[in-house]
């Protein structure tokens, strides 16, 4: 499998505007980056999933989401599904 394509070149999974799919992808990637930071950075550096990171970065940098992420309303990742797994995190 070569590069993974996500939607069009404009950084959306479906169509040309943010959908629930984009938001869900953002949350999953953010959670995996929290749980497995070394592995996710290693995957990012390969360039195979650039479209995925493009969507994640577009979502987190959008005005309203950025405000939410920096607010006290955003619950930090804790001991749920996206807890830290240092013993499982490898490059």
Sheet strands (E) in the chain:
none
- How confident is the model at residue 81, as a pLDDT? 63
The list of the chain residues with pLDDT below 50 reads: 1-5
- How confident is the model at residue 71, as a pLDDT? 92
Read off the pTM.
0.77
SS3 content of the chain, % helix, strand, coil (to 5): 50, 0, 50
- How confident is the model at residue 80, as a pLDDT? 62
- How confident is the model at residue 33, as a pLDDT? 93
- How confident is the model at residue 47, as a pLDDT? 94
- How confident is the model at residue 61, as a pLDDT? 94
- CA–CA gap between residue 28 and residue 21 (Å, rounded): 11
- How confident is the model at residue 74, as a pLDDT? 84
Structure tokens at 43: 């995957």
- How confident is the model at residue 79, as a pLDDT? 66
């Amino acid at each position: 499998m070569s590069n993974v394509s996500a939607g069009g070149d404009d950084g959306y999974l479906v169509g040309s505007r943010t959908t629930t799919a984009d938001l869900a992808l953002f949350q999953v990637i953010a959670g995996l980056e929290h749980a497995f930071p070394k592995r996710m950075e290693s995957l990012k550096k390969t360039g195979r999933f650039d479209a995925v990171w493009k969507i994640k970065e577009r979502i987190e940098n959008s005005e309203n989401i950025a405000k939410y992420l920096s607010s006290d309303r955003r619950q930090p990742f804790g001991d749920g599904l996206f807890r830290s797994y240092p013993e499982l995190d490898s490059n």
